[in-house]
Structure 1
Amino acid sequence: MKLLRPFQLASLKSGLFWRTFLLMGVLTTLSISAWVGLVSMLQREPQVQQISAQVISVVTITHAALTHSAPELRRELLFELVSNEGIRVFTLEDDDDVEPPPANALMPDIEALVKAKLGADTRFSRSVNGMPGFWVSFNIGEDRYWLMLERERIHGMSGVQWLGWASVVSVASLLGAALISGLINRPLARLTVATRELAEGRRPDKLPEKGPAEIIQANRSFNQMVEDLQQVESDRAVILAGISHDLRTPLARMQLEVEMAKLSDEAREGIQSDIAQMDAIIGQFLDYAKPTESSTFTTVDMTALLAETAHEAGRMPDVRIHTDITDNATVLGNPTDLKRVLNNLVENARRYGKTPGADYTEIDIKCSVKGMHTFKRVTIEVQDHGPGVPDEQIQSLLKPFTRLDSARGQANGAGLGLAIVDRVLLRHGAELQVRNREGGGLLFQITMKVMA
């Protein structure tokens, strides 16, 4: 079982923007598709009627003109039809190379209407003898003719044109969706950034109180919350200073009176032990309540800090230290608070991680740097070789005022040591994992971003 702390809050900005953009894009695409389908359906019948009427009219007029004109004037008439109207008339031969009419959705209905007016033997073609066009046959007596119209005269909007216009409208709609998504997401993105800064111990800039009523209310409430938290921090600093002075001064006076009193050595040592324990408990309360300000963060040489911690712990008679510390491990943080974290972990291991069958505690301190470039991480491990902790109780280790049953008999503090560790690492944006190690004992693993 692991207790994880993320390096930072999950970014809401990109996810919300793309989700809104995708939903609006899908809605726009479906709307355009429905619009195109509806227009095509409503336009189909009028377009069929218009094209059929045009074909029938041209064929009828040409038939009449050729029928009633003098034979010697027909050549001039055909030339005029070609020049002015784009209409050509050819003699229909049995050996003509005829291709079938255009295979579009309108053609069957056009054929039916034209044949109903001009006769069932009317033929259609898209090319005769290799000459493209819109060809319609008609008869003058026993003579058969082809009448060719330009395709553009009888075509409506093509599928490519429909696709082109739909693409233009879709691109414009998607650009509009991106703009609207950005406008919707921007206030929430500001709030997310400000929340992250507040969680990391920094005071965020005041959010603008303008825009829609809901955004104004949310930003105004957040700004007021920040002001209230700053006032609470200020009041807490005053309270901490008062506790430190008002409680430790009587303890110091009691310590002096014990030294001067005529007491037996056993009684004096007992009272001094109680006073020291009270002072330690007060110190734990102050350490837990003390905020870790990000403004105090500097570049910390964890290699040197771990080496110093290991050296100090190795001087204790009941501790055996084993180290494996890499060079050049630097992080951004408060050196005093990080040193307190390491001391608390070592002290926890010393108290509760004694090696079975031995009168001393073995503690392993390891440090390594993993990853590349901006993804480099410093991994710190502090582990003992003791009995460990039941898996179901690991989650309770980092809670304030918590001591497990196996440790109660030897507890000297208020149960805040590991809670202080968790609180300080959270303010440093570090990740803490707690688990039982293979072979027995408890392992604390800290992962922090490398300071370049």
Structure 2
Amino acid sequence: MDFGKLVEPDNGGAHRRRSLSRVVSHLHWLLRQRLSALKSGLFWRTFFLIAFIITVSMAAWIASVRFFDRAPQTEELAARITSIVEITRAALMHSAPAMRTELLFDLSSKEGIRIYPLEKNDKAEPLLDGAGLAETLLLVQTQLGPETRFAGKVNGVGGFWVSFKIEDDDEYWLMLERTRLVRGVGWQWLGWAGIVMLLSLLGGVIITRRINLPLARLTNSIRAMARGEAPDPLPENGAREIATANRAFNQMVTDLKRIETDRALILAGISHDLRTPLTRMQLEVEMADLSQEAREGMQSDISQMDAIISQFLDFAKPAEATNFTMLNLSELMQDLTARASRLPDMKINAQIDPNIHVVGNPVDLKRVLNNLVENGRRYGRTPDSDLLELDIKCKIESGEGGKRAVLEVADHGVGVPESEIQQLKKPFTRLDAARSQANGAGLGLAIVDRVVARHGGEFILTNRAGGGFLVRIILPGAKVKKADK
């Protein structure tokens, strides 16, 4: 025997236990998510409220029916028992003694009625108390006589036993099957009540969904606006209150779009008008009798103002899909990394797959890439260092709509607080004091977001694992073409 195998650890069993633990943890997480949705969701709150009201109403209705039906049911059962006993007694009294055996057999086989002589040594057990049983027995005893006795078992045989006399000394037991005395109408009522309750709950689901669906649409549209997206118009039909709310929301979206368009036109007009005086100031500085230090300072200020005006013009530039063409994205990225690598304080780690082509505007995409590098140069420097290290990647991934080009630009800086990342897409946004002192108007990433949206792509901002900030751009319709020889 190989004793080494006896002490070998069961790695397969440990792996199965870990897998089972992960599955249980995942199921526990799903259960908590579902319970959280049940607690917080308006749909489920409304549904459970309606279900509670329906359940209480049905319970009250059933209790009322049983309460008011109890007396008639008791009287009917007592009359049935009395009638059976009286008819059986009359049949026995008026039948010939020789025919009584055959009569007893017919009563037992056809009617389920059994007749036994009552003996003094019979062991009779009382009936189990039930709903309305005491009232029923009292009514039967009133009609048959006070000497009438009842039993649930006689000599170990179960049933409904009632005594009667044919003559003064001739006493018998009459035994009925309990099934003959059970009234089935109550169970039928419970069945119908269950069906009515299920239909009511189904109606409650439909009503709750019709109430909450417009609210869910409005909530999703508001969330889309908060993410900077343009929501689809909400339907303006249906209930008056909901139609009014949707109409007001659609009007607000239209007004915001118009305000955004007007602001872009104003920015473009002001920026264009400022270019001429800036050019004149640049010439005057060149010709003025100034010291070299003063001239360089004024030229730097003018260049900064010109850069801000360029950002305004880029932000206000309208979409022009007619200028889209098939371009080599890999070459654009390689040119970008080559120019960025020549800067003295920058280190570029590039992973660019060759011959990736997309449909787009080459000027706009160059502007996007330059803005990302400039954004990293200003805000993404490595802590305790003047060096900027950028990881630039360009690759192809397969998605639901086909192949997509994925661009990634990541720095090794301090990153951005998670709660404020999405704010960076908004125009004129700079988060901290250090950024507010930087050159620019806070339009860099807003311009990137707008250009990527024109190209039908996705613009994703997140913090880089290990520290830093990561910008991810996904452009649809990517292809790999061989380079022309």
TM-score (normalised: structure 1): 0.69
CA distance in 2, matches of 1:73, 1:44: 43
CA distance in 1, matches of 2:61, 2:224: 47
Rate the CA distance shift 1:407–1:32 in 2: closer, same or farther, 3 A.
closer
Rate the CA distance shift 1:286–1:127 in 2: closer, same or farther, 3 A.
farther
Partner SS for 1:138: strand
How far off its partner does 1:182 sit? 2.8
How far off its partner does 1:227 sit? 3.1
Q: 2:58 aligns with which of 19, 32, 39?
A: 32
Q: 1:56 aligns with which of 82, 94, 100?
A: 82
Q: 2:300 aligns with which of 238, 250, 273?
A: 273
Rate the CA distance shift 1:158–1:234 in 2: closer, same or farther, 3 A.
same
CA distance in 1, matches of 2:390, 2:213: 50
How far off its partner does 1:250 sit? 2.8
CA distance in 2, matches of 1:48, 1:169: 27
Code of the residue aligned with 2:254 in structure 1: it is E
Q: Deviations over 1:226-266 (max 9, x none)?
A: 33234323423432331232122332344455556677766
Q: 2:49 aligns with which of 6, 23, 34?
A: 23
Rate the CA distance shift 1:89–1:225 in 2: closer, same or farther, 3 A.
same
Deviates more, 1:40-49 or 1:312-321: 40-49
TM-score (normalised: structure 2): 0.65
Partner SS for 2:267: helix
Q: 1:443 aligns with which of 453, 458, 468?
A: 468
1:157 is aligned to 2:184: yes
Identity %: 47
- Contact 2:217 2:234 survives alignment (8 Å): no
Partner SS for 2:347: strand
Give the total of aligned pairs.
Answer: 429
1:203-222 map, 5 Å: 204-205=232-233, 207-208=235-236, 210-222=237-249
- The residue that corresponds to 2:345 in the other structure is 318
Deviates more, 1:254-263 or 1:50-59: 254-263
- Contact 2:422 2:461 survives alignment (8 Å): no
- The residue that corresponds to 2:162 in the other structure is 136
Q: Deviations over 1:324-376 (max 9, x none)?
A: 567999999998777656544432432455557866433334578999979x9
Rate the CA distance shift 1:20–1:109 in 2: closer, same or farther, 3 A.
same
CA distance in 1, matches of 2:450, 2:384: 34
CA distance in 2, matches of 1:371, 1:196: 28
- Contact 1:337 1:424 survives alignment (8 Å): yes
Code of the residue aligned with 1:216 in structure 2: it is A
- The residue that corresponds to 1:240 in the other structure is 267
How far off its partner does 1:277 sit? 0.9
Code of the residue aligned with 2:462 in structure 1: it is Q
Partner SS for 2:468: strand
Q: 1:90 aligns with which of 111, 115, 122?
A: 115
1:432 is aligned to 2:458: no
RMSD, aligned α-carbons: 5.5
CA distance in 2, matches of 1:448, 1:133: 83
Deviates more, 1:362-371 or 1:346-355: 362-371
How far off its partner does 1:181 sit? 1.9
> Taking CA–CA contacts closer than 8 Å with sequence separation of 6 or more, which of the two structures ends up with the larger relative contact order?
1
- The residue that corresponds to 2:196 in the other structure is 169
- The residue that corresponds to 2:310 in the other structure is 283
CA distance in 1, matches of 2:249, 2:200: 34
- Structure 2: gaps (5+ residues): 1-36, 478-485
How far off its partner does 1:319 sit? 1.0
